[in-house]
Amino acid sequence: MISTIGIVGAGQMGNGIAHVCAASGHPVRMLDVNQEAIDRGLRTIGGNLDRQLSKGTITAEQKAQTLARVSTGTDYALFGDCDLVIEAAPENEALKREVFRKLCPVLRPDAIIASNTSSISITRLAAMTDRPARFIGMHFMNPVPIMKLVEIIRGIATSEECFVAIRDLTRKLGKSAAVAEDFPAFIVNRILLPMINEAVYTLYEGVGNVESIDTAMKLGANHPMGPLELADFIGLDTCLAVMHVLHDGLADSKYRPCPLLVKYVEAGWLGRKAKRGFYDYSGEKPVPTR
């Protein structure tokens, strides 16, 4: 049974994963490269707990208990007592390899490693470790405390025992699992990103403008957000990176990234985080840019 959980990376995903693991009663060990990154992650957890408190979904006592379950550090020795370590470091294969090189020697031999990667092959990452049978993909969605899904991805060597332990943990975290095979971009991004890319083609070819495309999909397909609004939320650089993974990994021209998406990324118009993407976010309300 998985009790103590380690997290590598206290960023957007790592602190969210730490939050849900601690809130469901697990002792958590969260590591990042420096104290500043750790403090930023802890502040985000505190802020998200405050929001839950003000909505009445948790009590002040639950907030205090959740925070008390999270310990932090910059030294991998932190993970010596973990049953599971979830890797949520940046989406860079060389960097993840370095993380596993430091992580494996300090782990108990029976500990499981999970990666939160959005697009890198689980089988390839597993082969970088000393335990491919106890290595698995656990793909949380952003924002982690709110989104219900975890995609579970088995590498070619992942054992049934490891899979069952992670599936049971997912349930304990209050999430639902969708099981995916280890192919480029798994399920959610395999379907979602080509749709977003097609929305950008629809804009590029002048079939509609930003507002008409988003309105069409919100009211015509009952999507809570339009595809271009969603692209800005995800980050246009991330959208482009996933299209490259699909295009390279499946070698099918239907995955070619839209030239307009490429141009926006080249311009640094990366969406919400850059205050400009398909919408301009510098004012009070987002304004369509085309």
Provide the minimum distance between the beta carbon of 22 and ligand NAD in the complex, in angstroms, as a whole number: 17
Is 92 annotated as catalytic? no
Cβ nearer to ligand NAD, comparing 133 with 149:
149
Q: Which of 15, 115, 119, 189 is catalytic?
A: 189
For helices 12-23 and 35-55, the axis angle rounded to 10 degrees is: 50
Which residue in this structure is represented by tokens 């990324």? 265
Give the up-direction half-sphere exposure of residue 35: CA atoms within 13 A in the CB hemisphere: 0
Question: Is 247 assigned a catalytic role?
Answer: no
Instruction: Please indicate whether residue 189 is annotated as part of the active site.
Output: yes
Q: Give the footprint of ligand NAD on this chain (CB under 6 A).
A: 8-14, 32-33, 37, 88-91, 95, 98-99, 116-118, 139-140, 142
Count of C-beta atoms within a 10 Å radius of residue 9: 25
Which amino acid, residue 7? I
Instruction: From the candidates 118, 119, 121, 197, give the one annotated as an active-site residue.
Output: 118
26, 151, 197, 229: the active-site residue: 151
CB atoms within 10 A of CB 99: 24
> Alpha-carbon distance 36 to 11, whole Å?
11
Tokens of 23: 């809130």
Shortest spacing between CB 286 and ligand NAD, in angstroms: 19
**8, 48 contact by CB (below 8 A):** no
The SS3 of residue 191 is helix
Closer by beta carbon to ligand NAD, 202 or else 234: 234
Residue 102 Cβ vs ligand NAD, minimum distance, rounded to whole Å? 8
The residue among 74 and 215 lying less far from ligand NAD, judged by its C-beta, is 74
Q: Is 118 a catalytic residue?
A: yes
Determine which one of 19, 139, 197, 229 is catalytic: 139
What are the catalytic residues?
A: 118, 139, 151, 189
